[in-house]
Amino acid sequence: MAELQLDPQKIPHHIAIIMDGNGRWAKERGENRTYGHSQGVKAVKRTVEAAAEFGVKYLTLYTFSTENWNRPKHEVNLLMKLLVKSLNKEMDSFMENNIRLNTIGNIELLPAKANQKLQKVIEQTSINDGMTLTLALSYGSRDELIQAIKKIADNVKNNIISSEKIDESIINTHLYTHNLPDVDLLIRTSGEHRISNFMLWQIAYAELYFINEYWPDFSKEDLKKAMISYQNRERRFGKTSEQLHE
C-alpha cells in the first residue's frame, strides 16, 4: 500500500498543539514526572523541526498554562529550568531552520531568568522569516479574554473606541495572539478530548485532532498523519458543501 503523502497546496497555515501526557508516560515506566518532562522536550524538538520541514508557517505549543502554577513548586521550578536550558540549546537550530520565536501569555509571572532568556531569543530570531514558533507560557484563554475585555472597556471609557464599532477585528487586536492568524488544526496528545482553556477564541473554526500517544512519543509521522487528516476534511466555515463547490 502506497504511503500517504502531504498535499503541499493544503498545508495548514497555523497548527496548535496541546502537549499532554508527560507525567503519565513517565509513571507507566516507573519514572518520576521530571523524566517525563525531559523526554517531552525531545518531542518538542522533533515536532518543531518536522513542522518547519513540512512548510507550516505558524506552530503554537501549549507549554505552560495559568493553571500549571498550581502544581508542586519543585515541578514548576523544573519546568522553568527546562525552558531556559532548551532555549539555550536550540538557538542554533532556530537560526539554521529560519524559525522566529514568539510567546503568548502573562509572561511577567515567569521567573526573571526565564523571562530574560525568552526575550533575548525572541529578539535574536526576529530576523527570521520562516516558521513562527509560539510558546504559550503562563497562558490561559479565559485570562486572555478577560484582559482583552478590560483593555477594550478602558478604550471605550476614554473615547478611543466606540462601543458600536466593537467587532471581531477589534477583539483580535487586543488578544495575546494579535500577531497570529486563527488556528487551522488543533492537535491534542494523550487520548484526552478537551481543550483545557487553550485558544478558545482562535480555534473557533479549527479542525480538531486527538491522538492516544503521550507527548514524549509524538513523532514526525504522527504530525504528518494529523496534517493528512486535516487535508482530507471539508472546511465549510458555516456554509454548505454545495456553496463551497459553486
Q: What is the pLDDT of residue 85?
A: 94
| Residue 217 known to be catalytic | no
Name the nearest CA neighbour of 130 among 107, 156, 96, 155.
Answer: 96
Please report the pLDDT score of residue 234 as a whole number: 82
Q: Where are the domains of the chain?
A: 9-140+185-231
pLDDT for position 238: 66
Which of 7, 68, 70, 77 is an active site residue? 68
Q: At what angle do helices 73-96 and 33-54 cross, to 10 degrees?
A: 20
Write down the catalytic residue from 20, 102, 115, 222. 20
* Predicted local distance difference test score (pLDDT) of residue 222: 98
**CATH node for 9-140+185-231:** 3.40.1180.10
- pLDDT (0 to 100) of residue 4: 75
Q: How far apart are CA 161 and CA 166, in angstroms?
A: 8
**For position 3, what pLDDT does the model report?**
67
The ranges of the chain with pLDDT < 50 are 1
Rounded Cα distance, 180 and 68, in Å = 24
pLDDT at 121: 97
CA atoms within 13 A on the CB side of 204: 8
Coil, strand or helix: which one is 212? coil
State which amino acid sits at residue 176: Y
Global pTM exceeds 0.85: yes
Residue 20 annotated as catalytic: yes
